Structure formats: structure tokens, C-alpha cells
Amino acid sequence: MNSFDTLLQSLRAVVGAANVLTEGDLSAWEQDWRKRERGKALAVVRPASTDEVAQIVKLCGPAGVSIVPQGGNTGMVVGSTPDASGTQIVLSLQRMQQVRALDSANLTVTVEAGCVLQSLQETCKKAGFLFPLSLASEGSCTIGGNLGTNAGGTQVVRYGNTRELCLGLEVVTAQGEVWNGLSGLRKDNTGYDLRHLFIGSEGTLGIITAATMRLYPLPAAQLTAFAAVPSLEAAVELLGLAHRFLSAGLTGFEVMSQFALGLVVKHFPQQKVPFQQDAPYCVVLENSDHESEAHARTQFERLLEAAMEHGCVLDAVVAESMAQAKALWHIRESIPLAQAQEGLNIKHDISVAVSRIPEFVRVTDALIQQSFPGARMVNYGHLGDGNLHYNVQAPLGADAQTFLKEQEPALNALVYASVDQFGGSISAEHGIGSLKRDKLEHHKSPVALQMMRAIKTALDPQNVMNPGRMIRV
């Protein structure tokens, strides 16, 4: 028996033979969501408790087997699937789904890492609370993955990223120790705040097994509007007005280019997009109100009237019902799926200051068309946070695979150089994974990279946790 067989036998003893998968179709765990890379796992291991996670780590380290933590495998940067070596295990948190406690007075919920985001939202709603993290992948992504990537989504403008929603963590370290930091405290200045090291660390420092998250009161009403705007400048002006008129009620502000909307109509013709043909951009806005629906509606009407007077809105509708609101959001949320249907594509999840977004797009669009004529820009995203999905589809008629192979490195270099010029970030919310790892070297200062490596080697000296992801050591 070789050392891998011995390890597999020990892992079976910990989690049960049925939860150490080595045969059959493992593509759900080995293939990334975007179908950019297919890896090969030594095994997919599915623990049911924190103690089992700790035992797995204690077995893998000495056997020289590295660990790729995985939640819903919806990540965008190839960070949750194994490499091609066949020597890494995928540690899937999917069986650890329990909501351990909901503290109404403290406004917190403590939940295991494998809990699917939508399921957590529903549990909290039933208890009368809002858990505000919201992503189009919420039906499959997990709270552990959200924390691992510090996910953003559509409510960041009001509630912040996943980091801002987290008050405490339970983590299995790279040595297999359990750190219980599930305090739920809002104030705790007792030295380094370790939780923030693990949030956004993409499984490279340890395994998040549970978290204590913030809750909010459910709003009395949530209204959605869809507005056509004459330009990105106008969308930014509308955002300013929305902040002024709605204040903390502004819980969503998303922008979509006409071409992005066109892809939704093309691939999901059952979806009806208001004003799609006329305006270069449309915006989805959400107003959450703690008084009443009538109050929310009046506020929205005042905002949209003022916006039309300023000329920054051409036309707008406010959803009359929950079903209509969902349909409007569904349009926005279908863009990544419509892009996938259109073919392999290049994603740039970038951020720049909101005020500089129009100029960034004007300058970068022109540079792209000069060097890559016909490249189709699919531009949309979380304008309220200065975060664009400045994506690219191959020119019409071109073979997408060939276009990506031949042009992606140069196209990425052009976009990221422009992001640097505008003082932005090359990864606003999706993380680094393996897709952007080598680019990070060129867009972070040597001092920052040195500190990142020091943290990685201090917490994971054997490089057991998701090696080769985010940063090379």
C-alpha cells in the first residue's frame, strides 16, 4: 500500500467511506464554474463537523498532501478546484450546514461554513431578520466561500462586503488546531484582529468552519426601480442623487450597458427588458424603507423626478409588486449566465473611484478597440461601489477559444494598466485564485507582497493550504 492509500484509509476512518470520493464523475468538485480549468483530486473529502476537519488537516499535512477548501464551487478565479497533479484533496464543507444559534438581542447568527447563502437568508427572514449579503450565485455559494473570497454582491452600497458582516470566526488552522473566535462582540480591541486575516484569504491560511454574522431588522418595504440613463456620467449623477434622496434606504445601485442587456434578451428571450433598445446604459436601484411602502414609493418618485429634471434619467419604472421587482433584478443577475451562453469570455472584476468610472471606461474602451478591433465589451456591475465587471466577449464570428488563447494576456495587460493609471484594483470582489495570481505581482507594492508572504509562511509554513493560489511562496 502506498502512502496515498494509507492516507485515504485514515480519512475514511474519520468521515466514513461514503464521504471520501475517489471514483466516478467528480467534475462538480474538479471543474471550476467558468470552465477555465479542470483539475484532478486525490479525493473529495466531506467532513460533517469541525472536529473532523481538524482530524483531516492533521492527517494530510504529515502525508505531504495539500488541501483545497471548497464551498459551492461558484468562484470566478479558479481557486476552489484542485490542480492537475492528483495529489491534492478537495475538502468540501457542504455537509456542514447548521445554523448553530440566532441571537435576536445581539442581532447575530452563528452558522456553519457549508450553509448555502440563500438558505441562511431564508432562515433569518423566518426569524424576522435580514441577512443582507446577496449574490446571483446565492442558491449554491456557501457562507464559508463568501468569507473566503470576501464576496461583495448587490447590497454592498448599504451593508458592506462580507467582511463588514462578520463578527467572529471558527477556523481550523493549517496545523489542525481549532481557533474559536465566534464571539459576536462588536467591540474587542485585544490585539491583532485575526478574523480579518482569514476573511478574503481564499483558503490559503486555514479552513473557516463557522462564523458569527451580523443581522439587520427586516425593512418594511423594498422597492426596485429600473431607469434608462443617457451615459455613464448620468448614472454617476443619479447615484449622487440617490444617496441624497434615499440616504441609508439606498440598498442597491447596479449599472448595465445596452450590450450586456442585449445578451440577456438574446439568450433568455422570455425576459422583458424595459427601454433596452434606446439607452446606452440602464440602472437598477433599490430603496429599503423602515416606515412603509407608501413612504418608499414617494421617496423614489421624488428622486426620479429630480433625476429627470437634471437630465440624468431618460425614463424609469418602479416595480408595482414583489414579482415585478424580482423580474427586474433577474435581468441584472442573468448577465453572467448570458455571457456564459454567448461563449468563453474574459472577465475584469475591477474597481476605481466612482467619480472616475466614466473616464476610465471612455479611455479603456478606446484603447481596446485600437488594439483588439471588434472585441465586444460587456460592461456592467456594482456602480454604487465603483466596481465594474468590465468583461470582454470575442469579436462576432471569431472562435472564442482561439481569441482567448491568443489575445487574453495582452488584453488583460491593457485593462490592468489602465486600472493602475486610475488608481483602481484588479480584483474588486472575486479574489485572485490561480487566474490572477501572477498578475498580482505586478499590481501590488513589493512591501505589500512581502507582508502577505510573511503572513502565509507564519500561519502555514508547510504550504498545505490551497498552495499556488493567490500568492506564490
Q: Which residues lie near ligand 2HG (CB under 6 A)?
A: 136, 336, 347, 349, 381, 389, 391
Smallest CA-to-CA distance from 258 within 232, 226, 281, 235 is with: 281
Q: In this chain, which residue has its C-beta nearest to ligand 2HG?
A: 336
466 binds ligand FAD (CB under 6 A): yes
| 288: partner contacted, choices ligand 2HG, ligand FAD, none (Cβ within 5-8 A by kind) | none
The residue within the footprint of ligand FAD, chosen from 55, 110, 142, 222 (CB under 6 A), is: 142
378 binds ligand FAD (CB under 6 A): no
Site string (91-130) toward ligand FAD, x via CB under 6 A:
--x-------------------x-----------------
For the chain, how far is it from start to end, CA to CA, in angstroms?
Answer: 32
252 binds ligand FAD (CB under 6 A): no
In the region spanning residues 10 to 49, those forming contacts with ligand FAD, defined by CB under 6 A, are 33
Which CB sits closer to ligand 2HG, 89 or 419?
419
Q: In this chain, which residue has its C-beta nearest to ligand FAD?
A: 145
Which CB sits closer to ligand 2HG, 83 or 385?
385
Residue 384 near residue 254, CB atoms below 8 Å: yes
Q: How far is the CB of 197 from ligand FAD (least distance, A)?
A: 12
- Distance, in Å, from the CA atom of 314 to the CA atom of 41, rounded to the nearest integer, reads 53
Which CB sits closer to ligand FAD, 29 or 129?
29
Residue 10 burial by CB count (10 A; 0-12/13-18/19+): exposed, middle or buried?
middle
137 binds ligand FAD (CB under 6 A): yes
Residue 31 near residue 81, CB atoms below 8 Å: yes
Mapping DSSP to helix (H, G, I), strand (E, B) and coil, where does residue 229 land? strand
- Distance, in Å, from the CA atom of 262 to the CA atom of 265, rounded to the nearest integer, reads 5
| C-alpha neighbours within 13 Å on the C-beta side of residue 26 | 24
In the region spanning residues 294 to 353, those forming contacts with ligand FAD, defined by CB under 6 A, are 336
Q: Which stretch binds ligand FAD (CB under 6 A): 5-13, 22-30, 185-193, 426-434?
A: 426-434
**β-strand pairing of 66-70 with 88-92:** parallel
Site string (192-221) toward ligand FAD, x via CB under 6 A:
----------xx---xx-------------
Residues 6+ apart with CB under 8 A from 334: 136, 264, 267, 268, 271
Q: How far is the CB of 349 from ligand 2HG (least distance, A)?
A: 6
Q: Which stretch binds ligand FAD (CB under 6 A): 7-15, 136-144, 290-298, 314-322?
A: 136-144
Residue 389 phi, psi dihedral angles, 5° rounding: -95, 90
Smallest CA-to-CA distance from 77 within 41, 36, 114, 113 is with: 36
**What are the contacts of 396-405 at 24+ separation with CB within 8 A?**
398/374, 400/343, 400/344, 400/345, 401/344, 404/344, 404/345, 404/346
Binding residues for ligand FAD, rule: CB under 6 A, are 33, 68-76, 79-80, 93, 113, 135-137, 141-142, 144-146, 148-149, 151-153, 202-203, 207-208, 336, 429-430, 433, 466, 469
